A and B are shown apart, each in its own frame.
Chain A
Amino acid sequence: MAKYLIKRIARSVLTLAIILTIVFILLRQMPIEGYFQNFDKLTEVQIQVGLEEMGLTDPMPVQVFNFFKNLLKGDLGVSRIYRANVPVTEVLKDKIPVSIKLGSAAMAVSLLLGLPMGILMANFKGKFFDKMGTVFIIFIQAVPAAVYYLFIQLYGTKLLGTSLLFNQNDFKAWILPVLSMSLGNIAYYGMWIRRYMVDESTKDYVRLAQAKGLPKRKIMFRHVFRNAFVPLAQYIPTAFLNTVIGSIYIESLYSIPGMGGLLVQVIQKSDNTMVQGIVLLYACVGVIGLLLGDILMVVLDPRISFGKKAGGR
């Protein structure tokens, strides 16, 4: 297992390195305005000196090498425009915690509501609860999120008596954004766990469990749910890490000081180092999510072996 893990992690690191190199080189092709806050007022000579100071006149391989060297020290460079001369890590440090808190809460809510909903729907397949669940899922999937986000904000704030804007220290202010963020995933988890469980229920091993004399409730939990959960599990780490990135729409709707929208802002301002830092974060999240998803699958499903083909047959 350890050997497989090391291999798998090494491959992830390599993937990341390739992505970062490409992004780095691409960003070097951007106009050099993105490195100066007051580009228009600078003279040719000042610009040249500035570029040299930042090491941007070095040959490309040297620049890439320096980038990785600084990266290993945890130095992502300095923001030039968005918040001039503040280290990129500093900017992100302020934003990430809010997004993570919000995202984790939303994630927990969607799992805690979505999974039971799907389990109950599968259990009462074709009955009233299943039909109501399906209506809910179709509604969430068919109506653009923006519509019910606004609806929730408008009527929810009235109902709860909270302000339209977010306040980190007020518990009640968390409810609506978290709820809005969860709805989509509740529908997603509900739909898939129901579908996988319905699929699993027709399998022979369920019949055998029935023939053994196991009550339906136990069959559903011990046998069907566990099997149905495996294909979903792979997606969960990625979903969780995506919360780091934040939800652009919801964060702007409630003016939440999180990560959402930050990338758009720094691209608009062509703050090259910031763009680079955020893309780095996104790439990490993506790659780590996939890695954790794979590991989770291996942990949950004994048929998926570590690397080598399973023996025994």
Chain B
Amino acid sequence: MSTPINNGEVILSVRDLQVKFDLRGRILGAIREVSLDIYKGETIAIVGESGSGKSVFTKTFMGLLDANGKITGGSILYDGKDLAKFKNEKEWLGIRGREIAMIMQDPMTSLNPLKTIGQQIAEAVTLHRGLKGAEAKKAALQHLADVGITDPERRYDQYPHEFSGGMRQRVVIAIAIACRPKILICDEPTTALDVTIQAQILELIAGLREKYDLTVVFITHDLGVVAHVADRVAVMYAGDIIELGKTDEIFYDPKHPYTWALLASLPQLGERGEELFTIKGTPPSLFVKIHGDAFAPRNPQALKIDFVERPPYFEVTPTHKARTWLLDPRAPKVDPPPFLKLLHEKGGALK
């Protein structure tokens, strides 16, 4: 896996992004001042549990937040434009599909049941490349073949219900690719599929990344997938990126207690006969302002300062940083849980 990040060119740069949701008058701070640079050509994985804000975070890149969600601060720089300032649909239409495309979680519902597969791909082709009629069909057929659908001529005129889940996800990918985007956001693209199909889809996405020179943002809570596809990993917790680094750094030298806990709960690390590790407690309510380290209440080894002040990022290596007071030189030495060492030994099994 290539890691173009050291000399890479930043394609999308998020600075201090804040997203709030208005839920019947109560304000929920879903994204709390998150910054992230995404490099051209890389595959970056954003991991975190449900509700950590990973989907919301990437939806802001395309202006697809639900109506009650709003960007309340920060910027998203792409191609010299600040996407966070976009107001109307017209501005977004220049970005959606054309620059940034998205694959969604559930292929069973992502396609319009009343339109043929071909129509739905051709629609994207026409929209973004201005091809019409027979030309659009030709391009759509090409994309069907691209994503590994055999006999595209016949499949072109079929409807989504005539496709299996894995095949539909391929079609969804074909639609995304047909837009010729520069960034492809994959929002848990394999969660709804069974394991054998998962691997095929991941491989397909990796192949298309090469072929079309894509930058891929992977959203997932499956660390197995992360190990498989990502160059870099951003770990999100309670609307914040708490650790960011190359995949190896996150897996073999994690620094944040939450990342430890997350890795410790990998079933692959469990001992036969022992109970699997789980993180006690629940994520904090995002309705109230969070003080200090959001993970502190669930962290048995939390320091006093964790409850008081939000930790800044501490740099571990130029490519690896984490938001935890443990990295402060004044902090007492807290060792990562010993079984994380197992990851080194068993690590190969993840890939």
Contacts and interface: CB of A to CB of B under 8 A. Distances in A.
B93 A205 contact: no
Nearest to A211: B102
Interface stretch (A47-55, A212-220, A234-242): A212-220
Contacts of A3: none
A227 interface: yes
A140 to B, nearest CB: 29
A226 B93 contact: no
B64 A211 contact: yes
Nearest to B175: A212
B113 A227 contact: yes
A308 interface: no
A90 interface: no
A312 B158 contact: yes
B89 A215 contact: yes
Given A213-B93, A213-B179, A204 B159 contact: no
Contact of B98 (A213, A222, A312): A213
B111 A302 contact: no
Contacts of A159: none
B205 to A, nearest CB: 16
Interface in B93-125: 93, 95-98, 101-102, 104, 106, 109-116, 123-124
A208 B172 contact: yes
Nearest to A224: B112
B179 A205 contact: no
A210 B114 contact: no
A209 interface: yes
B109 A310 contact: no
Please indicate which of the listed interface residues B62, B112, B113 has the most CB atoms of chain A within 10 Å of its own CB.
Answer: B112
Contacts of A311: 162
A143 to B, nearest CB: 32
B104 A207 contact: yes
B64 A213 contact: no
B164 interface: yes
A312 B154 CA distance: 12
B139 interface: no
Contact of B101 (A203, A207, A211, A300): A211
A212 B123 contact: yes
B224 to A, nearest CB: 24
A214 B179 CA distance: 11
A230 interface: yes
B96 A227 contact: no
A303 interface: yes
Nearest to B159: A302
Please indicate which of the listed interface residues A210, A211, A222 has the most CB atoms of chain B within 10 Å of its own CB.
Answer: A211
Given A213-B127, A213-B179, A208 B111 contact: yes
5 contacts: A204-B109, A205-B112, A210-B64, A216-B89, A227-B113
Interface of B: 62, 64, 89, 93, 95-98, 101-102, 104, 106, 109-116, 123-124, 127-128, 158-159, 161-164, 172, 175-176, 179
Interface of A: 203-205, 207-216, 222-223, 226-227, 230, 300-303, 310-313
7 A-B pairs closest in CB distance: A213-B97, A312-B162, A213-B96, A204-B109, A211-B102, A302-B159, A205-B112
Given A207-B104, A208-B175, A212-B124, 14 more contacts: A205-B112, A209-B112, A211-B96, A212-B96, A213-B93, A213-B124, A213-B128, A216-B89, A227-B113, A230-B114, A302-B161, A303-B113, A310-B162, A313-B164
